[in-house]
A and B are shown apart, each in its own frame.
Chain A
Amino acid sequence: MILVILDHDGSHLRKGALEAIARARQLSSLGNLAGLVIGENLGAVAEEARNYLPTVYTAEVGSYTPERWAAAAYAAVQKSGAQVVVVASSRQSRTWTARLALKMNAALLEDTLESSTDGSRVLASRYSFLNRVTEKQAAHLPVVLTAKPNTTPPAEPQGQGGIEALTVEQPGAQVEVLERVAEQKKGVSLSEATVVVTGGRGLGSAEAFAGVEALASVLGGAVGATRAVVDAGWRPYGEQVGQTGKTVQPSVYIALGVSGAVQHQAGMNKSKYIVAVNKDAEAPIFKITDYGVVGDVHQVLPALLEAAKKLKD
């Protein structure tokens, strides 16, 4: 049995959930599929999920803690006898799936780009060494696998499954959430944007990001930031790209006043096209750019904005 654990926002399945189902279907020679939704008031998402899977388990456990999610997932594994678990990769899921893998004494294949089976093992590829190396991994069952977002086309509906509620024992020691600080998001989500315009310390001030926002908006993209910029308090952490921020893979990544430190590259080096504007022709970012402009960002950015506006008119 292959168990897909379905990420949702309380009313709908997230895109990652449909990608995870697609990944699970690719492994269907290893067994039948079942889904699991975890959270509270799961009626609507379970109804949606049954359009994709022959069995959908629900685990009403309350709000998220890694301990609860791992306990719920493990209850579904025991109930279904699943030997393979597939989940969309996120910081949150990479926390609780590690707990789950240990409960199952399973191999964990983290943040995989693709996956398949040779009949007895699960094979997968993923990035390592700060996104610089691509590696192929293999593991015998049981296996817990997380699927990197935007690596697989989302699954289409198929059949009409049954819904079954699970009882899950509350775990003992766990975190208690005192306060959640949501970052207000406007415009396109950074992780899913096809165009990302990132500003670095070279912009010189928080105010200069007005130009970055304007360019991102004209191109229908999202704003990114380097750590130097986030540390300076010019932009929120949620926009940071890199090792300790988000990983993005847009069609075009435009880096303005960014030096291109390895830790920054770790979050963007797989972008299809990379563009940089930097006044220093020796800046490391130019080693990985397709189109580089050597110049002052305060002069080039307004001109870029004008040219982009003209193009989009």
Chain B
Amino acid sequence: MKFIAVLRQVPDNEAKLKIEGGQVSLGGVTLILDGMDEWAVEEVIRLKEAHGGEAVVMALGPERFEEALRTALAMGADRAVHLVAEGYVDPISQAQHLAETIREEAPTLVFTGGQQADWDSQALGPALAEALGWPVVTWTTQLELEGETQAKAKHDLDEGAELVRVPLPAVFTSQQGLNEPRYPTLPGIMKAKKKELRKVPLSVQSKVEVLEQTIQERQRLNQVIDGSKDPVAAANQLIRLLHEEAKVI
């Protein structure tokens, strides 16, 4: 069987973002494998360990994405395919291009993150499914293969959850609770350097143009009340401020 995870490289959660010329500038920012994609990578490695076959990682993005692919290889993926495209490419166009390569690979299933930590998009998984003509299960918290042609999965809804049976091949997107990703080990990192990482240059026309990015942080009042000595007085003051000053209660 063959299991594919599609991933992105995104700014580290703690990174301070800057805007330059109306666009987010990632210069000097630590970039990491997207946390939700990490669950997807872990899942395909586990599937391969349990059922045999191959765990392949794939990405569409700029040169720098290679680092995130190497991280996934160091975790235990067998090989990587990198569709190299610079600049912003919207998720629908990404799906159209990735689908061609995925179809050639003919995998058992594809896994990707539930929401991208840079573009806050949830579209890639379902758009891939559409491009491939497969069903999709989003926000997956549990997955169990039933042979090679179907799987049982649990996934989150807007409210509550659902147990579904899904014919394979299918696309799944990750949600917290799916697994606990492993850390790359030193031998894993050494081995990853020798694993196959195929690059395919791509030129893609994005369907969406990003005109301007801004960071509009609300000015916060940052008023601090010491509640360590007299918690009752602090609580009274807070309730008064919320009622009289902010007028929100």
Q: Is the CB of A303 within 8 A of B160?
A: no
**Interface flags, A127-142, vs B, CB<8A=1, else 0:** 1111111111111100
A70 to B129, CA, bound (A): 12
Point out the residue from B120, B129, B136, B208 that lies within 8 Å of A108, measured CB to CB: B208
Point out the residues of chain A lying under 8 angstroms from B163, CB to CB.
Answer: 177-181
Q: Is the CB of B17 within 8 A of A135?
A: no
Among B77-85, B185-193, B240-248, the stretch that binds chain A is: B240-248
Q: Is the CB of A99 within 8 A of B207?
A: no
Q: Is B211 an interface residue (CB 8 A)?
A: yes
Q: Is the CB of A195 within 8 A of B159?
A: no
Q: How far is the CB of B117 from chain A (nearest CB, A)?
A: 6
A101 to B127, CA, bound (A): 8
Point out the residue from A139, A290, A296 that lies within 8 Å of B208, measured CB to CB: A139
Q: Is B114 an interface residue (CB 8 A)?
A: yes
Point out the residues of chain A lying under 8 angstroms from B246, CB to CB.
Answer: 252, 273, 290-291
Q: Is the CB of A107 within 8 A of B207?
A: yes
Which residues of B155-192 are within 8 A (CB) of A? 156-167, 170, 175-177
Q: Is the CB of B210 within 8 A of A99?
A: no
Q: How far is the CB of A62 from chain B (nearest CB, A)?
A: 15
The residue on B at minimum CB distance from A109 is B208
Q: Is the CB of B135 within 8 A of A174?
A: yes
A47 to B123, CA, bound (A): 32
A101 to B223, CA, bound (A): 46
Interface centre among B156, B175, B239, B240 (most CB of A within 10 A): B239
Q: Is the CB of B236 within 8 A of A307?
A: yes
Among B48-56, B57-65, B227-235, the stretch that binds chain A is: B227-235
Which residues of A265-297 are within 8 A (CB) of B? 269-270, 272-275, 277, 279, 281, 286-296
Q: Is the CB of B210 within 8 A of A137?
A: yes
Q: Is the CB of A195 within 8 A of B248?
A: yes
Point out the residue from A107, A133, A178, A272 that lies within 8 Å of B24, measured CB to CB: A133
Point out the residues of chain A lying under 8 angstroms from B114, CB to CB.
Answer: 244
With A108-B208, A131-B120, A183-B160: A252-B213 Cβ-Cβ less than 8 Å: no
Q: Is A299 an interface residue (CB 8 A)?
A: yes
Q: Is A176 an interface residue (CB 8 A)?
A: yes
Q: Is the CB of A98 within 8 A of B160?
A: no
Q: Is the CB of B156 within 8 A of A237?
A: yes
Point out the residues of chain B lying under 8 angstroms from A19, CB to CB.
Answer: none
A293 to B95, CA, bound (A): 47
Q: Is A117 an interface residue (CB 8 A)?
A: no
Q: Is the CB of A292 within 8 A of B239?
A: no
Interface centre among A98, A127, A288 (most CB of B within 10 A): A98
- Determine the main DSSP class of B at the interface with A: mixed
Q: Is B148 an interface residue (CB 8 A)?
A: no
Which residues of A70-97 are within 8 A (CB) of B? 70, 90-92, 94-97
Q: Is A186 an interface residue (CB 8 A)?
A: no
Q: Is the CB of A292 within 8 A of B225?
A: yes
Q: How far is the CB of B226 from chain A (nearest CB, A)?
A: 6
A269 to B129, CA, bound (A): 32
Point out the residue from A172, A237, A243, A300 that lies within 8 Å of B231, measured CB to CB: A300
Q: Is the CB of A138 within 8 A of B248?
A: no
Q: Is B209 an interface residue (CB 8 A)?
A: yes
Q: Is B198 an interface residue (CB 8 A)?
A: no
Q: Is B33 an interface residue (CB 8 A)?
A: no
With A110-B123, A195-B249: A243-B117 Cβ-Cβ less than 8 Å: yes
Point out the residues of chain B lying under 8 angstroms from A299, CB to CB.
Answer: 227, 231
Among B1-9, B68-76, B103-111, B214-222, the stretch that binds chain A is: B214-222
**Interface flags, B187-206, vs A, CB<8A=1, else 0:** 00000000000000000000
The residue on A at minimum CB distance from B231 is A299
Which residues of A95-115 are within 8 A (CB) of B? 95-99, 101-103, 106-111
Q: Is A219 an interface residue (CB 8 A)?
A: yes
Which residues of B83-126 are within 8 A (CB) of A? 90-92, 95-96, 114-115, 117-126
Q: Is A40 an interface residue (CB 8 A)?
A: no
Q: Is the CB of A134 within 8 A of B213?
A: yes
Q: Is the CB of A181 within 8 A of B120?
A: no
Given contacts A92-B157, A107-B208, A129-B117, 16 further A-B contacts (CB under 8 A): A98-B126, A134-B216, A136-B212, A174-B135, A175-B136, A176-B165, A181-B160, A252-B248, A262-B13, A289-B222, A291-B223, A291-B242, A293-B235, A296-B231, A299-B231, A304-B239
A-B contact pairs, 7 of them (CB 8 A): A98-B125, A108-B208, A173-B170, A174-B135, A183-B161, A290-B221, A293-B227
